[in-house]
């Protein structure tokens, strides 16, 4: 069993926490855009109250461990590994609860090239525990506004994990799926499931628009987020998102494997 001490060392060594690759400049830009209600960084969250940039710095310092100094405007961001560990424990508790209830679950990612393996392992474990891993809206088209204009993507599932990909398929040897922050995929999936008479998920596990979009619609939602994505943490602060795990969401995919083992062990779902 992976101990908290061993996982803490891995988090820092792999730069999932501690000093991370995300820059302070990137994070501050996201906070400014969020304060201006830019939909590109809201990720489907509709904030209940005004959030100034200073409010967001305070929030992210509390939830992630970034610098609370408003004059700190450059360099690399920092995530407190203790906050990551604490959030992983809460994440595991939600998984364990879903497994005990044999609840239907939905998993989706906007980071398939990094996090697909993490979610797929959770899907396998939850399925083995008797949870129905939902896959509605397979093949449906979703129009998403990108920096290149409006683009059409297709919803797909890989090992029970929802993602979107551009029409025409992926290049041979590449992992499937496109990077997206949009909440439109999860809205489409949930609408199709509702129109079909269910079942609807009792727990949604994902990142970016998947966790924020589902949480905003009233579904229990949990997932990881980086320091330049304040929306999930605002959702958690306002009660629409249940658990957010602060970590760098852009490191090598195999670096997330110890996190998978840790949360499955904590949730008593190890296979």
What size, in residues, is the chain? 271
For residues 18 and 77, give the distance between their C-alpha atoms in angstroms, rounded to a whole number.
8
Q: What is the pLDDT of residue 173?
A: 46
Higher-pLDDT residue of 216 and 147 is: 216
pLDDT for 187 beyond 60 = yes
Burial of 61: CB neighbours in 10 Å, binned 0-12, 13-18, 19+: middle
Give pLDDT tens digits for 220-247: 999 999 999 999 999 999 999 999 999 9
For residues 48 and 153, give the distance between their C-alpha atoms in angstroms, rounded to a whole number.
30
Q: What is the pLDDT of residue 166?
A: 87
Q: What is the pLDDT of residue 170?
A: 56
Instruction: Judge if pTM exceeds 0.85.
Output: yes
Give pLDDT tens digits for 145-165: 877 778 899 999 999 999 999
3-state secondary structure of 203: strand
Contacts of 69 (CB under 8 A, 6+ apart): none
Give pLDDT tens digits for 28-64: 999 999 999 999 999 999 999 999 999 999 999 999 9
**In the predicted model, what is the mean pLDDT of the chain?**
94
Q: What is the pLDDT of residue 174?
A: 53
Average pLDDT over residues 119-145: 96
Q: What is the pLDDT of residue 171?
A: 53
Average pLDDT over residues 196-204: 96
Q: For the chain, what percent of residues have pLDDT higher than 90?
A: 90
CB 255 within 8 A of CB 14: yes
The 10 Å Cβ neighbour count of residue 72 is: 13
Backbone dihedral region of 65: left (phi > 0), alpha (psi from -120 to 50 degrees) or beta?
left
pLDDT for 172 beyond 50 = no
**Cα of 97 vs its chain's centroid, Å:** 19
Q: What is the pLDDT of residue 1?
A: 75
β-bridge partners, 76? 23
Describe the crossing of helices 81-101 and 4-13 by its angle, rounded to 10 degrees: 120
């Amino acid at each position: 069993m992976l101990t908290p001490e061993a996982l803490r060392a891995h988090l820092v060594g792999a730069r999932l926490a501690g000093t991370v690759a995300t820059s302070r400049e990137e994070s501050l830009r996201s906070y400014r855009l969020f304060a201006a209600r830019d939909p590109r960084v809201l990720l489907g969250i509709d904030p209940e109250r005004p959030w100034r940039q200073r409010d967001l710095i305070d929030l992210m310092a509390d939830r992630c461990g970034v610098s609370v100094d408003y004059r700190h405007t450059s360099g690399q961001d920092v995530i407190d590994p203790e906050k990551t560990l604490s959030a992983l424990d809460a994440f595991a508790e939600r998984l364990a609860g879903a497994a005990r209830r044999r609840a239907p679950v939905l998993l989706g990612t906007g980071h398939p090239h990094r996090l697909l393996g993490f979610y797929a392992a959770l899907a396998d474990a939850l399925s083995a525990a008797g949870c129905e891993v939902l896959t509605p809206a397979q093949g449906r088209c979703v129009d998403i506004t990108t920096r290149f204009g409006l683009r059409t993507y297709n919803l797909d599932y890989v090992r029970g994990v929802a993602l979107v990909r551009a029409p025409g398929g992926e290049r041979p040897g590449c992992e499937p799926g496109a990077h997206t922050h949009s909440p439109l995929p999860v809205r489409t999936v949930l609408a199709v499931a509702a129109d079909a008479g269910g079942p609807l998920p009792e727990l949604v596990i994902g990142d970016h628009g998947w966790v924020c979009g589902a949480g905003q619609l009233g579904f229990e939602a949990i997932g990881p987020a980086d320091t330049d994505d304040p929306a999930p943490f605002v959702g958690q602060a306002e009660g629409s998102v249940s658990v957010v795990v602060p970590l760098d969401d852009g490191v090598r995919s195999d670096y997330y494997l110890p996190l998978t083992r840790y949360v499955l062990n904590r949730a008593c779902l190890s296979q």
